[in-house]
Chain A
Amino acid sequence: MTDNSPIIEVKHINKQFGDFTALSDVSLTVNRGETIAIIGPSGSGKSTLLRSINYLEQINSGEIIINGKTLVSTPQDKAIYVSDKEIRRICSDLGMIFQHFNLFPHMTCLRNITYAPIKVKKIAKARAEAEAKCLLAMVDLSGKEDSYPAMLSGGQKQRVAIARGLAMHPAVMLFDEPTSALDPEITGEVLAVMKKLAEDQMTMLVVTHEMGFAKEVADRVIFMADGRIVEQGTPRQIFDTPQSDRLKSFLRSVLRS
Protein backbone atom coordinates (compact mmCIF):
# COMPACT_ATOMS: atom_id res chain seq x y z
CA MET A 1 0.00 0.00 0.00
CA THR A 2 1.98 2.93 -1.24
CA ASP A 3 0.30 6.23 -1.79
CA ASN A 4 2.72 8.76 -3.10
CA SER A 5 0.32 11.67 -3.40
CA PRO A 6 1.23 14.52 -1.05
CA ILE A 7 -0.89 14.72 2.06
CA ILE A 8 -0.73 18.51 2.35
CA GLU A 9 -0.30 20.91 -0.51
CA VAL A 10 0.05 24.59 0.22
CA LYS A 11 0.22 26.77 -2.88
CA HIS A 12 1.19 30.43 -2.94
CA ILE A 13 -0.63 31.43 0.21
CA ASN A 14 -0.69 34.98 1.52
CA LYS A 15 -1.88 36.16 4.89
CA GLN A 16 -2.15 39.71 6.17
CA PHE A 17 -2.84 40.90 9.71
CA GLY A 18 -3.91 44.44 8.94
CA ASP A 19 -0.84 46.03 7.38
CA PHE A 20 1.48 43.28 8.53
CA THR A 21 2.28 40.55 6.04
CA ALA A 22 2.47 37.30 8.00
CA LEU A 23 2.80 34.96 5.04
CA SER A 24 3.95 35.95 1.61
CA ASP A 25 3.66 33.54 -1.30
CA VAL A 26 4.37 30.43 0.77
CA SER A 27 4.23 27.04 -0.94
CA LEU A 28 4.85 23.71 0.72
CA THR A 29 4.25 20.07 -0.05
CA VAL A 30 4.15 17.49 2.71
CA ASN A 31 4.51 13.82 1.77
CA ARG A 32 3.11 10.88 3.69
CA GLY A 33 5.28 9.71 6.54
CA GLU A 34 7.46 12.76 6.42
CA THR A 35 8.58 14.66 9.51
CA ILE A 36 9.13 18.32 8.76
CA ALA A 37 10.59 20.80 11.21
CA ILE A 38 9.85 24.46 10.63
CA ILE A 39 12.39 26.79 12.19
CA GLY A 40 12.93 30.50 12.11
CA PRO A 41 12.97 33.63 14.25
CA SER A 42 9.77 34.63 16.06
CA GLY A 43 7.39 36.58 13.87
CA SER A 44 8.65 34.76 10.80
CA GLY A 45 5.21 33.26 10.09
CA LYS A 46 5.90 29.65 11.00
CA SER A 47 3.02 29.38 13.50
CA THR A 48 0.74 31.27 11.14
CA LEU A 49 1.55 28.79 8.39
CA LEU A 50 0.65 25.88 10.66
CA ARG A 51 -2.53 27.58 11.88
CA SER A 52 -3.57 28.40 8.33
CA ILE A 53 -3.35 24.76 7.36
CA ASN A 54 -5.98 23.77 9.92
CA TYR A 55 -8.17 26.82 9.59
CA LEU A 56 -7.30 28.54 12.86
CA GLU A 57 -6.29 31.44 10.64
CA GLN A 58 -7.92 32.34 7.34
CA ILE A 59 -5.61 33.14 4.47
CA ASN A 60 -6.16 36.05 2.08
CA SER A 61 -5.18 34.18 -1.05
CA GLY A 62 -3.68 30.92 -2.20
CA GLU A 63 -4.69 27.30 -2.13
CA ILE A 64 -4.56 24.57 0.52
CA ILE A 65 -5.30 20.93 -0.27
CA ILE A 66 -5.39 18.32 2.48
CA ASN A 67 -5.48 14.62 1.72
CA GLY A 68 -6.68 15.41 -1.80
CA LYS A 69 -9.52 17.63 -0.62
CA THR A 70 -9.46 21.35 -1.28
CA LEU A 71 -9.87 23.45 1.86
CA VAL A 72 -9.46 26.82 0.23
CA SER A 73 -8.75 28.07 -3.25
CA THR A 74 -8.40 31.40 -4.96
CA PRO A 75 -10.20 31.34 -8.29
CA GLN A 76 -9.98 35.12 -8.67
CA ASP A 77 -8.15 37.36 -6.23
CA LYS A 78 -9.79 36.43 -2.92
CA ALA A 79 -9.49 33.15 -1.02
CA ILE A 80 -12.71 31.12 -1.00
CA TYR A 81 -13.22 28.43 1.62
CA VAL A 82 -15.47 25.40 1.30
CA SER A 83 -18.54 25.08 3.58
CA ASP A 84 -18.20 24.89 7.37
CA LYS A 85 -19.23 21.27 7.39
CA GLU A 86 -16.71 20.45 4.69
CA ILE A 87 -14.00 22.35 6.58
CA ARG A 88 -14.68 20.26 9.69
CA ARG A 89 -14.43 17.08 7.64
CA ILE A 90 -11.20 18.08 5.96
CA CYS A 91 -9.58 19.30 9.18
CA SER A 92 -10.47 16.09 10.98
CA ASP A 93 -7.46 14.65 9.13
CA LEU A 94 -5.27 17.01 11.12
CA GLY A 95 -4.32 16.73 14.78
CA MET A 96 -3.04 19.84 16.51
CA ILE A 97 -0.72 20.21 19.48
CA PHE A 98 -0.48 23.66 21.05
CA GLN A 99 2.25 25.41 22.94
CA HIS A 100 -0.06 25.80 25.94
CA PHE A 101 -1.60 22.30 25.68
CA ASN A 102 -5.20 23.55 25.80
CA LEU A 103 -6.43 20.49 27.63
CA PHE A 104 -9.97 20.74 28.95
CA PRO A 105 -9.38 21.49 32.66
CA HIS A 106 -12.77 20.27 33.83
CA MET A 107 -12.32 16.79 32.37
CA THR A 108 -10.12 13.94 33.52
CA CYS A 109 -7.27 12.85 31.25
CA LEU A 110 -9.32 9.91 30.05
CA ARG A 111 -12.28 12.11 29.16
CA ASN A 112 -10.02 14.65 27.49
CA ILE A 113 -8.93 11.87 25.17
CA THR A 114 -12.27 10.08 24.67
CA TYR A 115 -14.59 13.08 24.42
CA ALA A 116 -14.03 13.88 20.73
CA PRO A 117 -13.94 10.25 19.51
CA ILE A 118 -17.23 9.57 21.30
CA LYS A 119 -19.01 12.81 20.39
CA VAL A 120 -17.57 13.53 16.96
CA LYS A 121 -16.70 10.11 15.60
CA LYS A 122 -19.54 8.34 17.45
CA ILE A 123 -17.25 5.60 18.70
CA ALA A 124 -18.65 3.42 21.50
CA LYS A 125 -17.56 4.60 24.94
CA ALA A 126 -15.97 1.31 25.97
CA ARG A 127 -13.93 1.14 22.79
CA ALA A 128 -12.87 4.78 23.04
CA GLU A 129 -11.76 4.25 26.64
CA ALA A 130 -9.83 1.11 25.84
CA GLU A 131 -8.04 2.95 23.08
CA ALA A 132 -7.41 5.97 25.28
CA LYS A 133 -5.71 3.71 27.81
CA CYS A 134 -3.45 2.34 25.09
CA LEU A 135 -2.60 5.87 24.02
CA LEU A 136 -1.84 6.89 27.59
CA ALA A 137 0.44 3.89 27.86
CA MET A 138 2.11 4.92 24.61
CA VAL A 139 2.90 8.37 26.01
CA ASP A 140 4.04 6.73 29.24
CA LEU A 141 1.19 7.99 31.41
CA SER A 142 -0.61 4.83 32.43
CA GLY A 143 -2.43 5.35 35.71
CA LYS A 144 -3.24 9.00 35.05
CA GLU A 145 -6.67 8.19 33.57
CA ASP A 146 -8.60 9.82 36.40
CA SER A 147 -6.26 12.73 37.04
CA TYR A 148 -7.31 16.23 36.10
CA PRO A 149 -4.92 18.33 34.01
CA ALA A 150 -4.18 20.62 36.97
CA MET A 151 -2.60 17.67 38.76
CA LEU A 152 -0.06 17.07 36.00
CA SER A 153 3.27 18.66 35.17
CA GLY A 154 3.66 20.56 31.92
CA GLY A 155 5.39 17.67 30.20
CA GLN A 156 2.67 15.29 31.29
CA LYS A 157 -0.03 17.68 30.07
CA GLN A 158 1.59 17.92 26.68
CA ARG A 159 1.79 14.14 26.42
CA VAL A 160 -1.91 13.88 27.28
CA ALA A 161 -2.56 16.48 24.58
CA ILE A 162 -0.64 14.33 22.09
CA ALA A 163 -2.69 11.29 23.10
CA ARG A 164 -5.86 13.35 22.69
CA GLY A 165 -4.79 14.37 19.19
CA LEU A 166 -3.88 10.82 18.20
CA ALA A 167 -7.22 9.47 19.43
CA MET A 168 -8.88 11.09 16.40
CA HIS A 169 -6.58 9.13 14.07
CA PRO A 170 -5.38 12.13 12.12
CA ALA A 171 -3.38 11.65 8.95
CA VAL A 172 -1.05 14.45 9.99
CA MET A 173 -0.05 15.82 13.37
CA LEU A 174 0.72 19.52 13.57
CA PHE A 175 2.85 20.71 16.47
CA ASP A 176 2.94 24.42 17.28
CA GLU A 177 6.00 24.94 19.49
CA PRO A 178 5.11 21.93 21.63
CA THR A 179 7.95 22.36 24.09
CA SER A 180 8.25 26.14 24.31
CA ALA A 181 6.20 26.38 27.49
CA LEU A 182 8.12 23.61 29.25
CA ASP A 183 11.09 23.61 31.59
CA PRO A 184 14.24 22.56 29.76
CA GLU A 185 14.61 19.37 31.77
CA ILE A 186 11.18 18.07 30.82
CA THR A 187 11.17 18.96 27.12
CA GLY A 188 12.97 15.68 26.61
CA GLU A 189 10.02 13.54 27.63
CA VAL A 190 7.78 15.26 25.07
CA LEU A 191 10.41 15.12 22.34
CA ALA A 192 10.87 11.40 23.04
CA VAL A 193 7.17 10.79 22.36
CA MET A 194 7.39 12.83 19.16
CA LYS A 195 10.43 10.88 18.06
CA LYS A 196 8.55 7.67 18.63
CA LEU A 197 5.73 8.97 16.43
CA ALA A 198 8.18 9.90 13.69
CA GLU A 199 9.64 6.42 13.81
CA ASP A 200 6.12 5.01 13.44
CA GLN A 201 5.84 6.92 10.14
CA MET A 202 3.35 9.47 11.44
CA THR A 203 3.33 12.50 9.16
CA MET A 204 4.35 15.46 11.30
CA LEU A 205 4.75 19.16 10.80
CA VAL A 206 6.60 20.65 13.75
CA VAL A 207 7.15 24.32 14.45
CA THR A 208 10.01 24.29 16.91
CA HIS A 209 12.90 26.05 18.55
CA GLU A 210 14.50 22.73 19.41
CA MET A 211 17.34 22.59 16.93
CA GLY A 212 18.45 19.25 18.34
CA PHE A 213 15.07 17.74 17.47
CA ALA A 214 15.11 19.29 13.99
CA LYS A 215 18.59 17.92 13.35
CA GLU A 216 18.00 14.47 14.70
CA VAL A 217 14.40 13.60 13.86
CA ALA A 218 13.27 15.70 10.90
CA ASP A 219 13.45 14.39 7.35
CA ARG A 220 13.29 17.93 6.08
CA VAL A 221 13.90 21.28 7.71
CA ILE A 222 12.21 24.46 6.54
CA PHE A 223 13.64 27.82 7.47
CA MET A 224 11.23 30.75 7.45
CA ALA A 225 11.88 34.46 7.85
CA ASP A 226 9.70 37.50 7.22
CA GLY A 227 6.71 35.42 6.13
CA ARG A 228 8.62 33.47 3.48
CA ILE A 229 10.26 30.10 3.18
CA VAL A 230 13.87 31.16 2.75
CA GLU A 231 15.54 27.80 2.58
CA GLN A 232 14.68 24.14 2.93
CA GLY A 233 16.48 20.84 2.78
CA THR A 234 17.70 17.90 4.78
CA PRO A 235 18.86 18.69 8.31
CA ARG A 236 22.39 18.30 7.03
CA GLN A 237 21.97 20.84 4.27
CA ILE A 238 20.31 23.33 6.57
CA PHE A 239 22.62 23.05 9.55
CA ASP A 240 25.95 22.16 7.90
CA THR A 241 25.81 24.01 4.62
CA PRO A 242 23.37 26.91 4.96
CA GLN A 243 23.16 28.95 1.77
CA SER A 244 21.44 32.21 2.62
CA ASP A 245 22.86 34.89 4.89
CA ARG A 246 19.55 35.02 6.74
CA LEU A 247 19.84 31.37 7.75
CA LYS A 248 23.51 31.68 8.57
CA SER A 249 22.90 34.55 10.95
CA PHE A 250 19.87 32.76 12.48
CA LEU A 251 21.92 29.63 13.13
CA ARG A 252 24.73 31.69 14.62
CA SER A 253 22.33 33.31 17.08
CA VAL A 254 20.54 30.12 18.16
CA LEU A 255 23.55 27.88 18.31
CA ARG A 256 25.57 30.35 20.32
CA SER A 257 23.23 30.10 23.29
Chain B
Amino acid sequence: MSETFDYILLILPALLQGTKIIVVMFFMTLIFAIPLGLPLALGSDSKVLPVRWACRAYVFIFRGTPLMLQLFFIYFMLPIYFGLRIDALPAAIITFVLNYAAYLSEIYRGGIGSIERGQYEASICLGLNKFQTMFDIIIPQAIKRVLPSVTNEMITLVKDTALVSVLGVADLMKNSRAAVNRDGSVMAYLVAAIIYLILNAVLTKLSYRFEDKLSRHEVRCNR
Protein backbone atom coordinates (compact mmCIF):
# COMPACT_ATOMS: atom_id res chain seq x y z
CA MET B 1 0.00 0.00 0.00
CA SER B 2 2.68 2.47 0.98
CA GLU B 3 4.63 1.47 -2.14
CA THR B 4 1.72 2.59 -4.28
CA PHE B 5 1.57 5.77 -2.30
CA ASP B 6 5.28 6.38 -2.78
CA TYR B 7 4.93 5.76 -6.50
CA ILE B 8 2.10 8.27 -6.78
CA LEU B 9 4.19 10.85 -4.96
CA LEU B 10 6.99 10.13 -7.40
CA ILE B 11 4.96 10.73 -10.56
CA LEU B 12 2.77 13.49 -9.11
CA PRO B 13 5.08 16.47 -9.80
CA ALA B 14 5.14 15.69 -13.55
CA LEU B 15 1.39 15.18 -13.59
CA LEU B 16 0.76 18.45 -11.74
CA GLN B 17 3.11 20.16 -14.16
CA GLY B 18 0.88 18.83 -16.93
CA THR B 19 -2.21 20.01 -15.06
CA LYS B 20 -0.82 23.55 -15.18
CA ILE B 21 -0.98 23.37 -18.97
CA ILE B 22 -4.68 22.46 -18.72
CA VAL B 23 -5.36 25.36 -16.39
CA VAL B 24 -3.53 27.82 -18.65
CA MET B 25 -5.31 26.57 -21.75
CA PHE B 26 -8.65 26.58 -19.99
CA PHE B 27 -8.44 30.14 -18.77
CA MET B 28 -6.97 31.52 -21.98
CA THR B 29 -9.75 29.91 -24.01
CA LEU B 30 -12.35 31.05 -21.51
CA ILE B 31 -11.14 34.64 -21.49
CA PHE B 32 -11.01 35.01 -25.27
CA ALA B 33 -13.61 32.59 -26.64
CA ILE B 34 -16.48 33.65 -24.36
CA PRO B 35 -16.47 37.28 -25.53
CA LEU B 36 -15.55 36.38 -29.13
CA GLY B 37 -18.64 34.18 -29.39
CA LEU B 38 -20.94 37.16 -28.91
CA PRO B 39 -20.16 39.18 -32.06
CA LEU B 40 -20.25 35.89 -33.97
CA ALA B 41 -23.69 35.11 -32.53
CA LEU B 42 -25.05 38.57 -33.34
CA GLY B 43 -23.39 38.47 -36.77
CA SER B 44 -24.94 35.09 -37.59
CA ASP B 45 -28.38 36.66 -37.35
CA SER B 46 -27.39 40.03 -38.81
CA LYS B 47 -29.63 41.66 -41.38
CA VAL B 48 -26.49 42.65 -43.28
CA LEU B 49 -26.15 39.60 -45.49
CA PRO B 50 -22.36 39.57 -46.08
CA VAL B 51 -21.84 39.76 -42.29
CA ARG B 52 -24.28 36.94 -41.75
CA TRP B 53 -22.68 34.78 -44.44
CA ALA B 54 -19.18 35.39 -43.11
CA CYS B 55 -20.17 34.48 -39.54
CA ARG B 56 -22.11 31.42 -40.59
CA ALA B 57 -19.26 30.24 -42.84
CA TYR B 58 -16.84 30.67 -39.95
CA VAL B 59 -19.04 28.63 -37.63
CA PHE B 60 -19.57 26.00 -40.32
CA ILE B 61 -15.85 25.55 -40.87
CA PHE B 62 -14.89 25.36 -37.20
CA ARG B 63 -17.74 23.05 -36.26
CA GLY B 64 -17.40 20.98 -39.39
CA THR B 65 -13.78 19.89 -39.07
CA PRO B 66 -12.00 17.98 -36.30
CA LEU B 67 -10.34 20.06 -33.63
CA MET B 68 -7.19 18.00 -34.10
CA LEU B 69 -7.07 18.90 -37.78
CA GLN B 70 -7.45 22.56 -36.84
CA LEU B 71 -4.55 22.19 -34.41
CA PHE B 72 -2.33 20.71 -37.12
CA PHE B 73 -3.43 23.36 -39.54
CA ILE B 74 -2.53 26.27 -37.31
CA TYR B 75 0.67 24.72 -36.00
CA PHE B 76 2.10 23.20 -39.18
CA MET B 77 0.43 24.99 -42.09
CA LEU B 78 0.72 28.59 -40.96
CA PRO B 79 4.55 28.44 -40.88
CA ILE B 80 4.65 26.73 -44.28
CA TYR B 81 2.20 28.93 -46.16
CA PHE B 82 2.36 32.20 -44.29
CA GLY B 83 5.79 32.05 -42.71
CA LEU B 84 4.24 32.45 -39.25
CA ARG B 85 6.09 30.39 -36.71
CA ILE B 86 4.24 29.91 -33.43
CA ASP B 87 5.15 27.76 -30.45
CA ALA B 88 2.99 24.74 -29.82
CA LEU B 89 1.19 26.06 -26.74
CA PRO B 90 0.20 29.47 -28.18
CA ALA B 91 -0.79 27.75 -31.43
CA ALA B 92 -3.00 25.39 -29.45
CA ILE B 93 -4.55 28.25 -27.48
CA ILE B 94 -5.33 30.19 -30.68
CA THR B 95 -6.94 27.11 -32.21
CA PHE B 96 -9.01 26.45 -29.11
CA VAL B 97 -10.19 30.05 -28.93
CA LEU B 98 -11.25 30.04 -32.59
CA ASN B 99 -12.96 26.67 -32.25
CA TYR B 100 -14.77 27.31 -28.99
CA ALA B 101 -15.93 30.75 -30.11
CA ALA B 102 -17.76 29.02 -32.97
CA TYR B 103 -19.54 26.58 -30.65
CA LEU B 104 -20.31 29.22 -28.04
CA SER B 105 -21.72 31.59 -30.66
CA GLU B 106 -24.36 29.03 -31.59
CA ILE B 107 -25.28 28.56 -27.94
CA TYR B 108 -25.57 32.33 -27.50
CA ARG B 109 -27.64 32.60 -30.66
CA GLY B 110 -30.07 30.04 -29.29
CA GLY B 111 -30.24 31.84 -25.95
CA ILE B 112 -30.83 35.25 -27.48
CA GLY B 113 -33.45 33.79 -29.82
CA SER B 114 -35.29 32.26 -26.88
CA ILE B 115 -36.11 35.63 -25.29
CA GLU B 116 -39.74 36.51 -25.86
CA ARG B 117 -40.72 39.03 -28.51
CA GLY B 118 -42.50 41.03 -25.84
CA GLN B 119 -39.18 42.01 -24.30
CA TYR B 120 -38.09 43.60 -27.58
CA GLU B 121 -41.47 45.26 -27.99
CA ALA B 122 -41.40 46.72 -24.48
CA SER B 123 -37.88 48.02 -25.18
CA ILE B 124 -38.98 49.66 -28.43
CA CYS B 125 -41.97 51.26 -26.76
CA LEU B 126 -39.76 52.70 -24.03
CA GLY B 127 -37.51 54.25 -26.66
CA LEU B 128 -34.42 52.11 -26.07
CA ASN B 129 -32.01 51.86 -28.97
CA LYS B 130 -30.85 48.52 -30.35
CA PHE B 131 -27.66 48.53 -28.31
CA GLN B 132 -29.44 49.19 -25.02
CA THR B 133 -32.06 46.59 -25.83
CA MET B 134 -29.46 43.94 -26.60
CA PHE B 135 -26.99 44.59 -23.80
CA ASP B 136 -29.27 45.66 -20.94
CA ILE B 137 -32.46 43.72 -21.64
CA ILE B 138 -31.88 40.69 -23.85
CA ILE B 139 -28.36 39.46 -23.04
CA PRO B 140 -28.69 39.59 -19.23
CA GLN B 141 -31.71 37.29 -19.54
CA ALA B 142 -30.05 35.08 -22.13
CA ILE B 143 -26.98 34.48 -19.93
CA LYS B 144 -29.01 32.51 -17.44
CA ARG B 145 -30.57 30.38 -20.14
CA VAL B 146 -27.28 29.52 -21.83
CA LEU B 147 -25.30 28.87 -18.67
CA PRO B 148 -25.93 25.09 -18.50
CA SER B 149 -24.89 24.69 -22.15
CA VAL B 150 -21.84 26.89 -21.66
CA THR B 151 -20.84 24.82 -18.61
CA ASN B 152 -21.14 21.75 -20.79
CA GLU B 153 -18.75 23.30 -23.30
CA MET B 154 -16.33 24.24 -20.55
CA ILE B 155 -16.23 20.68 -19.26
CA THR B 156 -15.60 19.46 -22.77
CA LEU B 157 -12.85 22.04 -23.01
CA VAL B 158 -11.04 20.66 -19.96
CA LYS B 159 -10.96 17.25 -21.61
CA ASP B 160 -10.21 18.56 -25.11
CA THR B 161 -6.99 20.11 -23.86
CA ALA B 162 -5.60 16.55 -23.94
CA LEU B 163 -5.37 17.04 -27.71
CA VAL B 164 -2.39 19.38 -27.35
CA SER B 165 -0.26 16.38 -26.51
CA VAL B 166 -0.25 15.62 -30.25
CA LEU B 167 1.73 18.82 -30.74
CA GLY B 168 4.21 17.63 -28.13
CA VAL B 169 3.03 19.94 -25.35
CA ALA B 170 3.74 18.30 -21.99
CA ASP B 171 0.20 18.36 -20.62
CA LEU B 172 -1.37 15.95 -18.14
CA MET B 173 -2.17 13.44 -20.89
CA LYS B 174 1.33 13.38 -22.32
CA ASN B 175 3.05 13.24 -18.94
CA SER B 176 0.87 10.43 -17.66
CA ARG B 177 1.40 8.44 -20.83
CA ALA B 178 5.14 8.96 -20.43
CA ALA B 179 4.99 7.59 -16.90
CA VAL B 180 2.94 4.59 -17.99
CA ASN B 181 5.33 3.77 -20.82
CA ARG B 182 8.37 4.25 -18.62
CA ASP B 183 7.23 2.37 -15.51
CA GLY B 184 4.91 -0.27 -16.98
CA SER B 185 2.16 0.71 -14.56
CA VAL B 186 -1.20 2.26 -15.45
CA MET B 187 -1.36 4.01 -12.09
CA ALA B 188 -0.50 7.35 -13.79
CA TYR B 189 -3.67 7.08 -15.93
CA LEU B 190 -5.74 6.55 -12.80
CA VAL B 191 -4.24 9.60 -11.13
CA ALA B 192 -4.74 11.62 -14.31
CA ALA B 193 -8.40 10.58 -14.43
CA ILE B 194 -8.85 11.71 -10.84
CA ILE B 195 -7.22 15.06 -11.60
CA TYR B 196 -9.56 15.61 -14.59
CA LEU B 197 -12.52 14.75 -12.38
CA ILE B 198 -11.41 17.13 -9.64
CA LEU B 199 -11.04 19.97 -12.16
CA ASN B 200 -14.50 19.33 -13.55
CA ALA B 201 -16.03 18.96 -10.10
CA VAL B 202 -14.78 22.42 -9.19
CA LEU B 203 -16.07 23.77 -12.50
CA THR B 204 -19.50 22.20 -12.06
CA LYS B 205 -19.80 23.50 -8.52
CA LEU B 206 -18.87 27.03 -9.58
CA SER B 207 -21.35 27.00 -12.43
CA TYR B 208 -24.22 25.88 -10.17
CA ARG B 209 -23.34 28.64 -7.78
CA PHE B 210 -23.30 31.17 -10.60
CA GLU B 211 -26.64 29.87 -11.85
CA ASP B 212 -28.16 30.34 -8.40
CA LYS B 213 -26.89 33.88 -8.31
CA LEU B 214 -28.44 34.64 -11.68
CA SER B 215 -31.75 33.07 -10.63
CA ARG B 216 -32.25 35.21 -7.58
CA HIS B 217 -34.91 37.29 -9.32
CA GLU B 218 -36.96 34.17 -9.90
CA VAL B 219 -37.18 33.30 -6.24
CA ARG B 220 -40.74 33.63 -5.06
CA CYS B 221 -41.74 35.66 -2.06
CA ASN B 222 -42.24 32.66 0.24
CA ARG B 223 -38.54 32.72 1.05
Interface residues of A (CB under 8 A from B): 54-56, 88, 91-92, 94-96, 98, 100, 102-108, 115-116, 119-121, 147-151, 164-165, 168
Select one of B126, B127, B218 contacting A105, CB under 8 A: B218
Complex: A115 Cα to B128 Cα, angstroms = 10
Complex: A215 Cα to B132 Cα, angstroms = 40
Look across to chain A and name the residue whose beta carbon is closest to the beta carbon of B221. A151
Instruction: Given A88-B129, A91-B127, A116-B127, decide whether A102 and B122 contact each other with a Cβ distance below 8 A.
Output: yes
Instruction: Given A102-B121, A106-B141, decide whether A148 and B218 contact each other with a Cβ distance below 8 A.
Output: yes
Interface status of B42 (Cβ within 8 A of chain A): no
Residues from chain B with a CB closer than 8 A to the CB of A116 are 126-128
Within 8 A of A (CB), among B109-140: 116, 118-119, 121-122, 124-129, 132, 136-137, 140
Interface residues of B (CB under 8 A from A): 116, 118-119, 121-122, 124-129, 132, 136-137, 140-141, 144, 216-221
Whether the Cβ atoms of A98 and B121 lie closer than 8 Å is yes
Instruction: Given A102-B119, A106-B140, decide whether A96 and B125 contact each other with a Cβ distance below 8 A.
Output: yes
Shortest Cβ-Cβ A-B pairs, 5 listed:
A148-B217, A102-B122, A116-B126, A102-B118, A96-B125
Instruction: Given A56-B121, A98-B122, A104-B137, decide whether A168 and B127 contact each other with a Cβ distance below 8 A.
Output: yes
Look across to chain B and name the residue whose beta carbon is closest to the beta carbon of A164. B126
Instruction: Given A106-B140, A106-B141, decide whether A150 and B129 contact each other with a Cβ distance below 8 A.
Output: no
Whether the Cβ atoms of A150 and B217 lie closer than 8 Å is yes
Min CB gap A93→B, angstroms = 10
Select one of A88, A102, A151 contacting B127, CB under 8 A: A88
Residues from chain A with a CB closer than 8 A to the CB of B126 are 115-116, 120, 164, 168
Instruction: Given A105-B217, A150-B219, A151-B221, decide whether A119 and B122 contact each other with a Cβ distance below 8 A.
Output: no
Residues from chain B with a CB closer than 8 A to the CB of A88 are 127, 129
Look across to chain B and name the residue whose beta carbon is closest to the beta carbon of A108. B217
Look across to chain B and name the residue whose beta carbon is closest to the beta carbon of A149. B217
